[in-house]
Structure 1
Amino acid sequence: MRLQTPARPAYAAVLTGLLFTGLLALSACSKGNGDAEAKAKEEKKGPDAVPVEVARASRRAVAASYTGTAPLDARAEAQVIAKVSGVALSVLVEEGQHVRAGQTLVRLDADRATLQAAQAAAQLRKLEANFARSQEMAKQKLISANDHDQLRYDLENARAAYKAANLELVYANVTAPISGIVASRSIKTGNFVQINTPIIRIVDVSRLEAVLNVPERELATLKPGLPVQLTVDALPGKVFTGAVDRVAPVVDSGSGTFRVICAFEGGGTLQPGMFGRIRIDYDQRADALVVPRVALLEDESEPAVFVVRGDKSARVPVKLGYTDGEWAEVRSGVKQGEQVVIAGKTALRDGTVVQVIGAGAPKVAAAEKTEAKKN
């Protein structure tokens, strides 16, 4: 009996199917092993380090101070007025000119005042002669006491009128009541000047003052004589020194503030009306432990900083002292030389892995890279 063999095309198809199935199985096994290895590497690597910048806690001098803003005012200012009416024959000063107290600023037409003074002088001489004769007649009882007294009263009245007439003559020369700078002038030569009209403004710039309205909690700390530093917007980069001149210790019940008047030497670049930023130092510490103010955590109920210990961050509560510009004094919580985070702290938690970058980065990493290149 003769056996029948299967057809060759069918046999080849079966072999092809078996080979394809094997390849799929091998591929699946290979892929599964790769995913497992990648996962193991990821677990071994751990979380990514957060880049931060740090600064070291150091020692420096700090000062306790009060800061405020106020415009500068002249200590003395005067509006020069004309005490008599008349035509300005000459105006002797210009704006910006320095004048002395008593210096003549304007000369007014004094012809009428001169005539009145002459009439008063003549009337006075007449009454003086009459009164002298009256005294001789009174001794001889040739004049009544009433007539004699009337002549004496007339003489006193004439003397007063004579003084008034001469005062009007003096007022024709308008003089400076204080020494200072002519800030403004509202008349010209030939103008008619009305009595009691302001014509010139004089400002004494030899000393300038700034008045601060200070909260009552500072009443015990701010005293006369304390040093003051001043900066003005008009002169950036320049610092002027002065002192607390006087303190008004009465607290305003409405605002809860009291007045502190600071004095500065004028006559230079400082001018009245400039807006000043004032700092009054009332205490100093020469060797205080400080950290940058930017290191303080602003969203915390109590003062705290992040300190880098090893490769992790640690949130450390601190007790603060004085604040001086960009520095904050630390009384406890941080030791000298410890690194505090100044940038990148918003992404940190207690125990976060960090990588120090910038100027505070350790030099060990750079040394390791150099050694790796050599190998």
Structure 2
Amino acid sequence: MVTQPVTSGVINSKLSAIGESSALHWVTVSSASGGTLMSVDVKPGDHVQAGAKLATLDSDTQQNALDKARLAAQDADASLARAKTLAASNSLSQTQLDAAQLAADNARLAVQAAQIALSQRTITTPVAGTVGLIQVTAGNLINAQTVITTVEDSSEILINFWVPERYSSQMTVGAPVDATSAALPGKTFAGTISAVDNKIDPASRTLQVQATLPNADGTIKSGMSFTVDMTFPGQTFAAVDPLSVQWSNNGAYVWKVENGKAVKGMVDIVQRNSDGVLVTGDVKPGDSVVTQGVLQLSDNMAVRLLDQAAAAGGGRQGQGQAPAASSAPRS
């Protein structure tokens, strides 16, 4: 019969997941109101600062409304001033003074509303970044919420990916990741986890995670798919040859060779791999377990190792065959 030493194996030490990238800061710029598009002031690829003007709508009506509101506010302020003078000489009641004050306040609010309406005729970007394709052209009549363009700040890239729930406890903000893309062969991008969702998706039993990659040179384009790799300490278990695992009514077991005797060791199977079975129980790395001839054994049966010279000769003939053991009852 043949024995093999128990080794060790590590599981849950590596993770590869597929994710999709997007710019960390981006916005779809739309018109807040409808009207005729008078001009588009940027072109694709331009870098703009937050608040920069991208396009303008016709604004004659809104400018006229603002001028009227200002005139009305001036008149209301003058009426309020007269009311205060009359009230000081007890020629005007408090109620009339309050009404004049309210009219002046409402007039100022009307000016602010007209200013807001006029400002909305200028389409600006709320974030800094690079301008994408322009979706409209000057001279067209557009509606509210019509998309003008997109602006992306791709100096940092966000990757969304999902991991099996068994890795959820190992997902921590700041943990390192390596990302590769088929679109950029030979390049590996180092980043860190920036956010972890607070719940497991019940349908897929996965957890959503976000990682951030630096992209100062703009190599990564938003929308690229990535393979995200992570490493962990993992869990270490004893690993035995698949041929050594036997079954009984009490569960799985292996035959160990201890002090020249066959000893049954009960085990629980953790994971089956192509090159070994990870187990817990009555075995540890370094133990010798029987892989061939297991049906001839019984508990505490004495076994005798073959002569070392013969074993060495057999090794030369068998090109590295494992050492053999012979079962022989001791007299």
Give the TM-score taking structure 2 as reference length.
Answer: 0.66
1:204 alignment partner, one of 146, 149, 153: 153
Q: What residue is the counterpart of 1:92 in the other structure?
A: 41
CA RMSD in angstroms comes to 3.4
Distance 1:249 1:160, change over 3 A: closer
1:270 alignment partner, one of 217, 220, 227: 220
2:207 alignment partner, one of 252, 258, 261: 258
Could you list the per-position Cα deviations for residues 113-140 of structure 1 after superposition, in whole angstroms to 9, with x for gaps in the alignment?
2221111111111110011000111122
- Name structure 1 gaps, 5 residues minimum: 1-62, 285-295, 303-316, 322-330, 335-350, 357-375
Counterparts of 1:230 and 1:122 in 2: how far apart (Å)? 62
Counterparts of 1:166 and 1:249 in 2: how far apart (Å)? 43
1:1-375 to 2 correspondence within 5 Å?
A: 64-267=13-216, 268-283=218-233
Counterparts of 1:195 and 1:223 in 2: how far apart (Å)? 42
Distance 1:120 1:282, change over 3 A: same
Could you say what secondary structure the match of 2:202 adopts? Answer: coil
- Name structure 2 gaps, 5 residues minimum: 1-11, 235-239, 247-274, 280-284, 289-314, 321-331
Counterparts of 1:94 and 1:301 in 2: how far apart (Å)? 69
Could you say what secondary structure the match of 2:28 adopts? Answer: strand
Counterparts of 2:243 and 2:151 in 1: how far apart (Å)? 53
Letter in 2 for 1:129: A
Counterparts of 1:121 and 1:333 in 2: how far apart (Å)? 93
Letter in 2 for 1:216: E
Counterparts of 1:115 and 1:199 in 2: how far apart (Å)? 26
Q: What residue is the counterpart of 1:361 in the other structure?
A: none
Distance 1:219 1:191, change over 3 A: same
Aligned residues: 248
Distance 1:88 1:271, change over 3 A: same
Q: Does structure 2 conserve the Cα–Cα contact (< 8 Å) formed by 1:222 and 1:282?
A: no
Displacement of 1:301: 7.3
Displacement of 1:300: 9.6
Counterparts of 1:169 and 1:100 in 2: how far apart (Å)? 21
Counterparts of 1:68 and 1:279 in 2: how far apart (Å)? 7
Displacement of 1:230: 0.8
Aligned-residue sequence identity (percent) comes to: 27
Distance 1:89 1:224, change over 3 A: same
Q: Does structure 2 conserve the Cα–Cα contact (< 8 Å) formed by 1:69 and 1:276?
A: yes
Distance 1:107 1:259, change over 3 A: same
Distance 1:209 1:186, change over 3 A: same
